[in-house]
Structure 1
Amino acid sequence: MFKRNAQSSLSTKSFNWELIVLLWLVFFFNQADRQIFNVILPHIKADLKLTDAELGMIASVFIWAIGLCVPLSGYIGDVFSKKKVIIFSLLLWSTATFFTGLSAGLFHLVILRGIVGSSESFYAPAANALIGEKYGDKTGLAMAIHQTALYAGIIMSGLIGALIAERFGWSTAFYFFGGIGILLSGILVLRFKKIVLPEVSAVIQKVTLFDGLKGLFERKTAILLTLAFACMVFVNVGYLTWAPTFLHEKFNLSLANAGFSSMFYHHVFAFLGVLLGGRFSDRFAKINVGARLKTQAFGLLLGCPFIYLLGSANDLFWVYTGMGLFGFFRGLYDSNIYASLFLVTPARIRASVSGAMIMFAFLIGAFAPWILGYLKPTLGLSDGLSSLSFAYLLGSIFIFIALRFTLFKEVHKASPDQNFN
């Protein structure tokens, strides 16, 4: 297959707010449809008589489905229209979310959550590559704004999903979020037609299915960033899956309160961190090519003690403090996940390479819900969540290695005029 190599110039005179708002809404439901399952786990467990290990396995299958499909989805994002890929992805995962409400047992949940995960995998590579093409030197800010949808989606789904489940049953929560996503896909069909992307080159270039993997493994910096991303995903997936249950069981909070609180404090501060990280890195990346990676490395490193605190504290004030500051530093890291990768990635295969990075990170991170669920009866969720801090520490080490040994050489090959302070 062939496609045109469409890229924006290195700077953009205007900021396309309509595109980023539409992508924000899609990403909101991308995350909401993921999180509602985690928030209403106790209802599903009681109604379908599932074990903690089975619930953890369902969450892991969801992440594995994303990890296995993203290399293909990244390739498709590079070869076909990114706008059409986004619409197709939204429609498919929203439909599968809607039908998840009809599940009658473990098998149904595994299949439908697998479909949701695999179809959601098509969104991130296409959307992030699209942002990279459109926003030029404002990419960090655009991606930071886009990333806030992740936090808003998780917070609101935690509150709304739990309230719906308590009042109308857990199935209704899936009908609600899935139905709105289906309607949103129709809006995108109409509005995306009016959004024109800049094209500065009409050169036809071939992109193959294996370009993403090749582009990743040819660059040591990309490999190290992927390992760090895997550490972050491992922590994130484990936290999102079990934090509501942790508060519900340890502090006897209602399901709605536990679901909201576990997501609210963490993601509100992450919202602040990602915007600060995006603006900071956009500004200083112009004079220091390592600024984006430094922001990420310190985000992971400084988040470690607060992950430990949220699991070990016996007072809700300190638990929420840990969740909030863990979220803030997580936001600093999140602001440059793809902008850092794109420093050493050719524009024509950015979706493919980011897909390969997501694949490895999610295949590793998917073990977290199952491991924590398996160890829950013996280790407990408090110690299990606290132990996730070691993964953050390891991730920061990987990025510091890239800063010290690989980044400057690999960026210099593509852009000899970069500043290497």
Structure 2
Amino acid sequence: MGQGRLAEHGQVSPSYKWQLVGLLCVAFFLNQGNRQIYSTVLTQIKASASAGGLGLSDVQAGMVASVFIACYGLCVPLAGFLGDRLRRKWQLLFSVLVFSIGTLLTGFGGGLVSLILFYGVVFGAGEAFYYPPATSLMSQFHEKSRATAFSIHQAALYVGIMFSGYFSGYLSRTFSMQWRAPFVIFGAAGILWSIVLLVFLRDTPNQKAAGVAARVTVRETLGHILGKRSALMLAVAFGCMVYVDVGFKTWTPTFLIEKFGFTPEKAGFSAVFFHFVCAFIGVMAGGRLTDRLAARRKTIRFEANILGLLLGAPFIYLMTHGTSEWFCFAMLGLFGLFRGIYDSNLFASLFDVIKPQYRATATGLMLSFAFLVGSFSPTVLGYLKSRFGLSFGLASLSVSYLLGGVIILAACTLFFNKDYEGSKA
């Protein structure tokens, strides 16, 4: 019997759960790599028309990124709701195809409106439909290896951002299309990968669970999620983290260009390489360690989140205050290490307090809130840049990390035990 039929009957080969992670890692690599193109080539997009750019102001440039994040935040609850009710394979295919088309079309944008439409709306909506069904599907195949599977998947985000940070700058400098080239090339690659997913991706082996989810009402779903105070506080803390992440990824390449005189290629690479290499170490170590300890210490995933945010905050501030580029790189790396520890248990901790049939919806709502909060970050930092300088704006992000860590600490102390036991009932 072929693997497709095996999947339909709830039987898959033992190796398929890791094949699934591999397929989704490439999709997530493209998902995040495409997103990083914009910040890498931002200085070229802002350049005058005679220099091949579109002549955007700092606030307009931040607005494009803000529209993308806001569109993502508005669409992702629907993605989560559908992920608990429809076949996740088709939702994932739709996502990869649409965000790749949006990326491709951005390369042909002619001004602020077209960038908002193609990058902000089409790309943002396409990306929104990826993460909830992806994590829900992986969690069903990886009940005992959940944090490890999520950590490997998260590592694809880091690799995608690092690769795009360098390669986008290289393409924009090498090709006559300049900043348009990486959008076109990455978009075309994503369209091709959607065909690979069509052929090889299988859906959940648990048809019984899928049937139960289909009968769950919206009221029941929301009642379960909103009744979990620790889950709500995780969402608020995630909003603090995404506010930092979006602002950091949008404006750090520009910060390096202005502070150290880097080329766009070097700035795009340096802004992400040191940070995400260390984040890779943090996410893999965090995932493996918490999976091993979870059976003996049920709060370990929440504690990993607390550690990541509270210890990462000082390095965000220090990153902007060094006079040496290597000091800045070291701070970016340490910031990344603790960011990885947080990321390793981001949704694994949420799933500790949410029942399986509600997980995609919970993921969607958590992403929605966080990215709506984060959507303000590029524009706010664009404003702070024009008034106080970019160093001040980026340094201010450390406060958001500290706040997020304190919120999860309170959730773990006050509400975790009750919510954890309720999710197992």
**Distance of 1:215 and 1:282 partners within structure 2:** 25
Structure 1 residue aligned with 2:114: 108
Of 123, 126, 130, which aligns to 1:123? 130
8 Å CA contact retained: 1:216, 1:356? no
Deviation at 1:413? 2.5
Other structure's SS at 2:386 match: coil
Residue in structure 1 matched with residue 160 of structure 2 by the alignment: 153
Partner of 1:33: 34
- Preserved CA contact (<8 Å) 1:74 1:212: no
Residue 15 of structure 1 deviates from its aligned partner by 6.9
Question: How big is the shift at 1:208?
Answer: 4.2
Establish whether residue 189 from structure 1 lines up as the match of residue 190 from structure 2: no
What pairs up with 1:2-401 in 2 under 5 angstroms? 16-46=17-47, 47-113=53-119, 114-168=121-175, 169-193=178-202, 197-199=205-207, 204-205=212-213, 206-209=215-218, 213-401=222-410
Contact 1:39 1:244 (8 Å CA) reproduced: yes
Relative to structure 2, which stretch is displaced further, 226-235 or 310-319? 310-319
**Deviation of residue 209 (structure 1)?**
4.9
Gaps of 5+ in 2: 1-7, 48-52
For residues 36 and 209 of structure 1, do their structure 2 counterparts lie closer, same or farther at Cα, with a shift above 3 Å needed? Answer: farther
Amino acid in the other structure paired with 2:267: A
Maintained 8 Å contact 1:92/1:116: yes
Give secondary structure in 1 for the equivalent of 2:65: helix
**Amino acid in structure 1 at the alignment position of 2:123:** V
- Alpha-carbon distance, 1:407 to partner: 0.4
* Residue 200 of structure 1: how far off its partner (Å): 6.0
* Structure-2 change in CA distance of 1:308 and 1:201 (3 Å): closer
3-state SS of paired residue (1:376): helix
Rounded to whole Å, the distance in 2 between the matches of 1:364 and 1:17 is 33
How far is the alpha carbon of 1:119 from its aligned partner? 1.1
Deviation at 1:375, TM superposition (A): 1.3
Kindly tell me: are residues 156 and 7 of structure 1, through their superposed partners in 2, closer, same or farther at Cα, counting changes over 3 Å?
Answer: farther
- Residues 119 and 212 from structure 1, CA distance in 2 versus in 1: closer, same or farther, beyond 3 angstroms? farther
Question: What's the CA shift for 1:265?
Answer: 0.3
**Structure-2 change in CA distance of 1:64 and 1:203 (3 Å):** closer
Structure 1 contact 211–349 (Cα < 8 Å) conserved: no
Q: Residues of 1 paired with 2:107 and 2:160: CA distance?
A: 19
SS in 2 for 1:313: coil
Residues 259-315 of structure 1 deviation map (CA, whole Å, 9 limit, x = unaligned): 000100000000000001101111111111100000010110000111111111111
Retained in 1: the 8 A contact 2:85–2:210? no
Post-superposition shift, 1:196? 6.4
Structure 1 residue 406: Cα displacement: 0.1
Q: Partner residue of 1:419?
A: none
Q: Deviations over 1:296-340 (max 9, x none)?
A: 101100001111111111111110011000000000000111111
In structure 2, relative to structure 1, the CA distance for the partners of 1:211 and 1:67 (3 Å cut) is farther
Q: Distance in 2 between matches of 1:216 and 1:361?
A: 16
Letter in 1 for 2:311: L
Secondary structure of 1:229's aligned partner: helix
Shift of 1:207: 3.6
- 2: CA distance between counterparts of 1:260 and 1:202? 42
Superposed displacement of residue 7, structure 1: 13
- 212-221 or 82-91, larger mean C-alpha shift: 212-221
* Structure 2 Cα separation of the partners of residues 211 and 222 of structure 1: 16
Go from structure 1 to structure 2 and tell me whether the alpha carbon gap of 1:214 and 1:22 turns closer, same or farther (over 3 Å shift): same
Measure how far apart 1:173 and its partner are: 1.0
Cα distance in 2, alignment partners of residues 109 and 241 from structure 1:
15
Amino acid aligned to 1:29: L
CA deviation string 1:11-32 (max 9, x = no partner): x976722111100000000001
Task: State the AA in 1 paired with 2:381.
Answer: L
Residues matched between the structures, number: 408
TM-score, structure 2 as length reference: 0.92
In the alignment, the residues of structure 1 paired with residue 36 and residue 181 of structure 2 have an alpha-carbon distance, to the nearest angstrom, of 15
Partner of 1:3: none
Kept in 1, the 8 Å contact 2:355–2:424? The answer is no
Aligned to 2:108, what secondary structure does the other structure show? coil
Instruction: Determine what percentage of the aligned residue pairs are the same residue.
Output: 42
Change (3 A) 1:104 1:19: same
Partners of 1:241 and 1:116 lie apart in 2 by: 16
Amino acid at match of 2:75: C
Q: Deviations over 1:149-174 (max 9, x none)?
A: 11001000011111111121111111
Cα RMSD (Å) of the superposition? 1.9
Amino acid corresponding to residue 310 of structure 1 in structure 2: M
Secondary structure in 2 matching 1:79: coil
| 1-structure distance, mates of 2:222, 2:125 | 18
Which one-letter code corresponds to 2:324 in the other structure?
D
* Cα separation, 2, equivalents of 1:53 and 1:363: 18
> In structure 2, what is the Cα distance between the partners aligned to 1:211 and 1:103?
44
